[in-house]
Amino acid sequence: MGLLVKGKWHTDWYDTESSDGEFIRTDAQFRNWITPASEGGEFPAEAGRYHLFVSLACPWAHRTLIFRALKQLESVIGVTVVKAEMLDKGWEFTEDSGPVEGLRTMAQLYCKAQSDYSGRVTVPVLWDTKTNRIVSNESSEIIRMLNTAFNALTPVQTDYYPAALRAEIDAVNEWVYDAVNNGVYKVGFATTQAAYERHFHGLFDALEQLEQRLGTQRYLAGDTLTEADWRLFTTLVRFDAVYVGHFKCNLKRIEDYQHLPHYLRELYQHPGVAQTVNFDHIKTHYYYSHDTINPTRVVPLGPALTLDGDHNRDQLFGAATSGGQAS
């Protein structure tokens, strides 16, 4: 774990001393947008031009892989997967660093885009092979681009952020991000009892609300599967395998709820999605990389998961609708 200061790598764990034991996530710095080719713009959607750098362990990067699969953009946007563990050099490549050859670390990729970059070196990164620039390193914005900007290059026109549901999706995203997606990190990276307890209660209150909501409606924004569900999914699918143990989020497992496990199984079994989930990378990354939390680096073998098992969502809610139609 480390960060770049004016293009130089510094080995540093998150500083929680200046924030009373709280983990505070910093904002992503590359925030450009890909637009449909018909609209012009600095980054027009083109086949083969853009490339994703991801970790299969990372829930934020996972969102982008899911959208690439849902929108069948595999032949339009390439992917490079970094090593599971993140140690002193940060994210490292296997022998394959993708379209920018010869790189050993993600920090080198950031420096190639901006030689004096200061900040954390995070995944996912959406890279422009034409200009050697980072289009975006913010997953919530990358999935919006994948949702619509490449529609001329894919047969899948499903819209996971349909205009009619945007207010609802935005509202759900806001509290799910704070209490659940980022919530598990605030619990797991807390270095004081008080900070841990505060976020622990916030997380499990939110899971209870989600449990209630998903007991009366099929998806987070009603009967339509949307972006909000995929954003929640990447945290839920990691929960029993790593957050319960490694991050001490252990009031309940997802498996212990009535509705959440069925909802999770339905999303996991959605065409193309299971192939984006890699528990070897997920468990190895968390248990191996955070040596302040797990200094022995022993990676647990369990738990046995039931993601392929039956779910009752069709029985409860009838046939599913996937996203809205693109306008």
**Residue positions annotated with a catalytic role:** 58, 185
Structure tokens at 147: 């949702």
Site for ligand GSH (CB under 6 A): how many residues?
A: 13
- From the list 158, 2, 19, the residue with the least C-alpha distance to 91 is 2
What mask, x for binding ligand GSH by CB under 6 A, covers residues 83 to 122?
-------------------------------------xxx
Q: Report the amino acid identity of residue 18.
A: S
Beta pairing class for 50-54 and 125-128: antiparallel
Spatial CB neighbours of 121, under 8 Å, sequence gap ≥ 6: 2, 3, 4, 90, 91, 105, 106, 107, 110
Please report, for residues 16, 186, 209, the alpha-carbon distance to residue 195 in angstroms, rounded to integers and kept in the order given.
10, 8, 22
Q: Is 273 annotated as a binding residue?
A: no
Residue 147 in contact with ligand GSH, rule: CB under 6 A: no
Residue 123 in contact with ligand GSH, rule: CB under 6 A: yes
Q: Is 91 annotated as a binding residue?
A: yes
Q: Is 104 annotated as a binding residue?
A: no
- How far apart are the C-alpha atoms of 190 and 107, rounded to whole Å? 26
Of the two residues 58 and 153, which places its CB atom closer to ligand GSH in the complex?
A: 58
Which of the stretches 15-23, 41-49, 134-142, 217-225 binds ligand GSH when contact is defined by CB under 6 A? 134-142
Which member of 97, 108, 139, 226 binds ligand GSH (CB under 6 A)?
139
Structure tokens at 96: 């394959």
Of the two residues 47 and 100, which places its CB atom closer to ligand GSH in the complex?
A: 100
DSSP, collapsed to helix, strand or coil, labels residue 302 as: coil
CB of 9 to ligand GSH, least distance (A): 11
CB of 55 to ligand GSH, least distance (A): 6
Instruction: List residues bridging with 78 in a β-sheet.
Output: 51
Residue 28 in contact with ligand GSH, rule: CB under 6 A: yes
Spatial CB neighbours of 307, under 8 Å, sequence gap ≥ 6: 237, 264, 265, 268, 269, 274, 277
298: exposed, middle or buried (C-beta count within 10 Å: 0-12, 13-18, 19+)?
exposed
Of the two residues 108 and 224, which places its CB atom closer to ligand GSH in the complex?
A: 108
Residue 124 in contact with ligand GSH, rule: CB under 6 A: yes
Q: Is 120 annotated as a binding residue?
A: yes
CB of 136 to ligand GSH, least distance (A): 8
Q: Is 138 annotated as a binding residue?
A: yes
Which member of 4, 34, 58, 190 binds ligand GSH (CB under 6 A)?
58
Of the two residues 9 and 150, which places its CB atom closer to ligand GSH in the complex?
A: 9
- How far apart are the C-alpha atoms of 327 and 158, rounded to whole Å? 10
CB of 282 to ligand GSH, least distance (A): 10
What are the φ and ψ backbone dihedral angles of 307, each rounded to 5 degrees? -65, -25
Of the two residues 58 and 210, which places its CB atom closer to ligand GSH in the complex?
A: 58
Under the rule (CB under 6 A), what is the footprint of ligand GSH?
Answer: 1, 28, 58, 60, 120-124, 137-140
